[in-house]
Each structure stands twice: as C-alpha cells, then as structure tokens.
Amino acid sequence: MEGFDARKKRFMRILSILKRTYPHAKCSLDFGNDVQLLVAVILSAQCTDARVNKETPALFAKCKSAKDFAAMPQAQMEKYVRSCGFFRTKAKNIRETCRILDEQHGGKIPRTMEEMLRLPGVARKTASIVLGNAHGILEGIPVDTHAIRLSQRMGLTREKEQNKIEKDLQKIVPHEDWLNISNLFVFHGRALCTARKPKCKECPILSYCPYGKKAAKS
C-alpha cells in the first residue's frame, strides 16, 4: 500500500499538471458581490452550477444586498429559485441567513468558519467557498461531488464521507491551494474525469492516477 510520503509526492505532480491544464480555474458560479455569492452557493446544493447561473440573474437584478434578500417575501423568493430544487427550504434559508447578515454583521460576510456555520443553509463546503472567495480566508477545502469522485479515483483518500475526505486532503494539499484544488477538481471533473465514461486515455494525469491506469488497460 502506498505510504503517505509517496502519495503526497504523487499528488504534487498531479497538482502541477492540473494547474497547467486549467490555468483559469475559478468558482464557476456567477455573482456580483459576496452576498450574492453566498446565495448562489446555497442554491447550488444538490443542483448544478449551470442551473443556478441560469436562474440567478433575475433574482440578483432584484436583490443586491443582504437587506434586499431578507426583505423579499417567501413566496416571491420561491418563484425565483424554484428550478434549483428544494426551493422552499432554500428560499427560507436565504432569507433568514441574509436577515442575520443584515442585523448582526452589518450586511457583510463573516470572517470565520464558526460564524459561517451558524447561518441557515451553510455547511462546511459552502462556508469554505465563500470565505475563500470573499476574504481569501482558507479554513477548509470545499468537498463537492467532483472532489469526492476525483480524490477517490486518484487514490488520495479511501473515505466516503465529506468531512473525512476533507481531512485527508488537508494533509496533502498545500494550504495556499485549499480553495484552488476544489476549482481544479471541478474543471477536470467536467472536462475529462466525468462521473460516467471518464476519458482516462486523454487525461494528462493518467500516469499518476490509479483509477485511470486501470481503466486505460480495459
């Protein structure tokens, strides 16, 4: 079984290749300010970024600040986010979260993971994305479906739970790349390492990926 040092060395080669392959990798959600980013990430739970980006322009044209989102009636908010799934819960969480931001944080995004996790609809993945993009604060690695799939295929973790996968990744990913690796996983997961029929033979990290080397032989 591969030891930790060997796994980290192999990952650093993977990271270098992914950075060269996707030099413009960034958050794929569209937003105009930090509060809109938070709203978009809440909506992206169990929904594609593409779908969220299709639905948020109309909502963001109406709501610019936390006060705007908090003031929008529940029924109206639901109409804007209906196609993003779990729309009633998401609408309620957005309104309540933005009320808290407005009343307790001056309409701004908090600067700690602890404060972020107190907001309705915000878990570690959401908090990590927003803290990283809004403040450049790296308190966690956002672990979404792409990160779960790719880290398992690349042999970076054997875990299946998000929090345990994040802990494994934190041991080998340089701290300054905690947000960037999530973006790189998303770009690579969409381009080549897809959930169905990954294009392993075209993959630039094939020689460093256990799953890819096995798949390429079949």
pLDDT at 217 (0 to 100): 81
Write out residues in the chain with pLDDT < 50, as ranges. none
Q: What global pTM score does this model have?
A: 0.94
CA 214 to CA 92: how far, in whole Å? Answer: 46
**Which runs of consecutive H residues, i.e. helices, occur in the chain?**
4-21, 34-43, 49-62, 66-71, 74-81, 87-104, 113-116, 124-135, 145-153, 162-172, 178-191, 210-217
Give catalytic residue positions: 125, 144
Cβ burial of 168 (10 Å; 0-12, 13-18, 19+) is middle
Going by the DSSP 8-state scheme, the letter that residue 84 receives in this structure is G
Residues 159, 149: Cα–Cα separation, whole Å: 11
CB 189 within 8 A of CB 149: yes
Which domains, and CATH codes, for the chain? 4-25+142-217 (1.10.1670.10), 34-135 (1.10.340.30)
List of residues 6+ apart from 118 with CB closer than 8 A: 100
* Rounded-to-integer distance, Cα 90 and Cα 38, Å: 12
pLDDT tens-digit series, residues 142-181: 999 999 999 999 999 999 999 999 999 999 999 999 999 9
